[in-house]
Amino acid sequence: MRNQPLIIADRTFESRLFLGTGKFGNLLEMTDSIIASGSEMVTMALKRIDSQSSEDDLLNALKPTKSHLLPNTSGARTAKEAVLAAQLAREALETNWIKLEIHPDPKYLLPDPIETLYATEELAKLGFIVMPYIHADPVLCKRLEDAGTAVVMPLGAPIGTNKGLRTVDFLEIIISQSNVPVVVDAGIGAPSDAAKAMEMGADAVLVNTAIAVAGNPVEMARAFKKGVIAGRRAFEAGLGAIGNHAKASSPLTSFLFD
């Protein structure tokens, strides 16, 4: 049995695991990890790409992965900067897909919801496929839908912390009422966190630190691949309800109907 594919805009993804390309100790390890993860979409910071040089190391290293490249606006502090960065990325990478990251706070890299909403409106009008990184805020998700976002990417925990799904109650609400795919981004620290997100009905997860900084990134990428597949399969199979009420095998009250 195969998991149902995920469709975002005009693309179909067999894998529901997206990867970040930062923090790897070397580019070969990054390439091998992406391949091992089976991921079909990876994100890279526009600021890391040297568009002046004809041979950018990072882009060269990503070629063998055959992954769809998703540039991000990491570094932007305002909607205006993010829109400019998206336009630059479109030119440099010939893609209208953009992962929107606007964090004016460099300490926790928390996203600015107001600037993100403005930038999504603007970018959607300009024809971009917008994937905004946001707080797990159900109302903001609905506002982004209205603004024309392609997906929503709520965080599970502060980025880079490996803390897992700390926002679980809000993720559940977001998933239950979303009309666009929900990609849980940031904070996923272990394959079990990724599986949990998928079991809850998230459409995909994005992982970076937990793989890049693992003792063996390639093996960790494999483990995440399996975690995501298992979680999604469980979701599609239909998980049993969780409850504390005892279910006696012979009904205790059946005598009433005899």
Partner 1 sequence: MKSFKDFFEKYQWDEIKAKLEKVTLSDVENSLQKKNKTIEDFLNFLSPVAAQKLELMAKMTQQLTQKRFGKTIQLYAPLYLSNECQNICTYCGFSLDNAIRRKTLTDTELMIEATVLKSMGVNHVLLVSGEANKTVGIDYFLNAVRLLKPYFANISIEVQPLSEEEYQQLHNAGVNAVLVYQETYHQEVYKEYHPKGKKSNFNFRLETPDRIGQAGIHKMGLGILLGLEDWRVDSFFNALHIDYLQKQYWKSRYSVSFPRLRPAEGIIEPNFIMSDRDLLQLICAYRIWNEDLEISVSTRENETFRNNIISLGATAMSAASKTNPGGYAVDKASLEQFETSDERSMEEIKNIIKKAGYDPVMKDWDAVYNGF
Q: How many residues bind partner 1 (CB under 8 A)?
A: 31
Tell whether 208 is in a known binding site. Answer: yes
The answer to the question of residue 27 lying near partner 1 (CB under 8 A) is yes
The footprint of partner 1 on residues 194-233 (CB under 8 A) is 209, 212-213
Question: Which of 5, 14, 23, 139 touches partner 1 (CB under 8 A)?
Answer: 23
Q: In terms of C-beta density within 10 A (0-12 exposed, 13-18 middle, 19 or more buried), how is residue 105 classed? A: exposed
Largest alpha-carbon pair distance within the chain?
Answer: 85
The answer to the question of residue 240 lying near partner 1 (CB under 8 A) is no
Closest to partner 1 by CB, 5 or 25: 25
What type of residue is 190?
A
d(CA 249, CA 254): 12
Q: Which of 28, 30, 47 is nearest to 39 (CA)?
A: 30
Closest to partner 1 by CB, 46 or 202: 46
Question: Which of 35, 59, 84, 126 touches partner 1 (CB under 8 A)?
Answer: 84
Tell whether 179 is in a known binding site. Answer: no
What type of residue is 14?
E
- In the bound complex, what is the minimum distance in angstroms from residue 105's beta carbon to partner 1? 6
Q: Which of 139, 98, 129, 132 is nearest to 115 (CA)?
A: 132
| Active-site annotation holder among 63, 99, 107, 125 | 99
Question: Which of 160, 164, 191, 231 touches partner 1 (CB under 8 A)?
Answer: 160
Q: Which of 57, 65, 68 is nearest to 31 (CA)?
A: 65
Choices 8-16, 32-40, 80-88, 163-171; region in contact with partner 1 by CB under 8 A: 80-88
The answer to the question of residue 133 lying near partner 1 (CB under 8 A) is no
Tell whether 12 is in a known binding site. Answer: no
Tell whether 209 is in a known binding site. Answer: yes
Closest to partner 1 by CB, 48 or 135: 48
Check if the beta carbon of residue 149 is closer than 8 Å to that of residue 130. Answer: yes
Choices 18-26, 172-180, 218-226, 228-236; region in contact with partner 1 by CB under 8 A: 18-26
Residues contacting 193, CB < 8 A, separation 6+: 156, 164, 165, 187
Residues in a beta bridge with 7: 12
